[in-house]
Amino acid sequence: MSGLTRRELLSLGARAGLATLGLGGLSACRRAPGRLQTIVIQGAPSPPSLALLRVAEQGVPKELAEEVRFAVWSTADEMRARITSGQAHFSGVPTNVAAALYNRGVPVQLLNAYIWGILYLVTSDPNLSSLADLKGQPVLIPFRGDLPDILTQYLLRREGVKMASFLQANYVSTAPEAAQLLASGRAAHAVLSEPSATLAILKAKQNGITLRRAVDYCDAWAQATGRPPRLPMAAVVADRTLGERPAVLEWFQGAHRAAVDWVIAHPDEATRMGAHVFEAIPAEAMRQSIPFIRFSFVEAQSARSEIEFFLSEMQSLSPELIGGRLPPDEFYYRG
């Protein structure tokens, strides 16, 4: 879920439409007043989206819609275009992206936060145990200006140092690129989200290299802030027109809560389900990554204080990351 660059975020409005699903807008999806023909749930092509996929697999009550479909978004443009054209009703996105979408005029409302940790420092150094141990060393960081970068800067600043003068940040354009460099022995340290961390560890083992997760960013966050070891990394936003359909929102919240619990309790079944949709990720890597993804369903109002603290701290280093300001009350869904 961290695969959005600042450039992608700034270009969110570049595309005006999308026809990949062959679906019309919300009005075209209605078979009868008060009933939708197709509900579309979109998410990134990675294990954090397993619960969203599960919701789609379970189906929707016939009094609400004829069917429910899951769609993969691969770029910020694709994700936003589906929302603005009425081709996605529910979207799993990084929490800071949810705020940025709202602040840039995209009609969304935050329903819940469901991923509370996904980022790690992966290293081949058996003695490294904290970000402070990286002094003077080169570190691979995907997505310059996005969360892996800004959060690393933030945590080091809490240690009293500036990242630019403390370590050698080697930026790469994608997490898989960083994972490959790490697994091949061409780098010793990388900031990686799941499942890239797991992919790197498994691939390195094939190459005779031992990698490990030396720092869980949730634990580093707790040490830096004195708050619980959890980061609101991903959330679900709904198209605001669904405010006119409270039964649909209530259905989704209940179904998503149950799906998150199911993924946690049934990782093998979740992997088999996801393998047919997230084909680029080896099944074994998907399965092994699940325990390192902190799934937890928390409704928007209950998560608000943690989300606002997280967003405000990130805003202190990069206002662009959240669209320049904290979203107002109406951003948070009240069920």
Mean of all residue pLDDT scores within the chain? 90
- CB-CB contact of 222 with 69 (8 Å): no
Beta strand 295-299 with 108-115 is antiparallel
Backbone angles phi, psi at 142, to 5 degrees: -75, 155
pLDDT the model gives residue 30 = 38
Give the integer Cα–Cα distance in Å for 94 and 236: 9
pLDDT for the residue numbered 153: 97
Could you tell me which of 310, 284, 256, 281 has the C-alpha nearest to residue 89? 256
Q: How many CA atoms lie within 13 A of 37 on its CB side?
A: 12
What would the mean pLDDT of 293-298 be, rounded to a whole number?
98
Structure tokens at 104: 């840039």
Fold for the domain defined by 6-117+231-331: D-Maltodextrin-Binding Protein; domain 2 (3.40.190)
For residue 33, name the pLDDT band (cuts at 50, 70, 90): very low
- For 83-132, the pLDDT digits (tens) are 989 899 999 999 999 999 999 999 999 999 999 999 999 999 999 999 99
Residue 279 CB neighbour total at 10 angstroms: 10
- Per-residue CA distances from 206 to 123, 174, 202, 252 (Å): 16, 22, 7, 41
pLDDT at 29 over 50: no
Query: Helix (H, G, I), strand (E, B), or coil: what is residue 41?
Result: strand
Higher per-residue pLDDT: 145 or 7: 145
Q: Phi and psi dihedrals of 325, rounded to 5?
A: -160, 165
In the predicted structure, residue 21 carries a pLDDT above the cut 90: no
DSSP state of 145: T
Output the pLDDT for position 194: 97
Summarize pLDDT for 124-177 with one digit per residue, the tens.
Answer: 999 999 999 999 999 999 989 999 999 999 999 999 999 999 999 999 999 999
Q: What is the pLDDT of residues 224-250, one digit of tens each?
A: 999 999 999 999 999 999 999 999 999
Beta-bridge partner residues of 318: none
**Whole-number pLDDT of residue 41:** 98
What percent of the chain lies above the pLDDT cut of 90? 87
pLDDT on residue 335: 83
Tell me the whole-structure pTM to 2 decimals. Answer: 0.89
Length of the chain: 335
> Is 273 within 8 Å of 54 (Cβ atoms)?
yes
CA distance linking residue 242 with residue 90, whole number of Å: 10
CB atoms within 10 A of CB 79: 28
Q: Are strands 234-239 and 90-94 parallel, antiparallel or unpaired?
A: antiparallel
| Phi then psi dihedrals of residue 186, to 5 deg | -85, 0
Nearest to 285 by CA among 219, 192, 222, 157: 192
Please give the pLDDT value at position 19.
28
Distance between start and end Cα atoms, the chain: 26
- For residue 35, what pLDDT is reported? 87
pLDDT of residue 129: 96
Helical ranges in the chain per DSSP H: 6-10, 26-29, 50-58, 76-84, 95-103, 147-158, 163-166, 175-183, 196-206, 217-225, 246-265, 267-275, 283-289, 300-315
CA 251 to chain centre: 22
CATH 3.40.190.10, domain 119-225, yes or no: yes
The domains of the chain are located at 6-117+231-331, 119-225
Please give the helix or strand (H or E) that residue 108 lies within, else none: strand 108-115
**Element of type H or E holding 236:** strand 234-239
Task: Say yes or no: do domains 6-117+231-331 and 119-225 share a fold.
Answer: yes
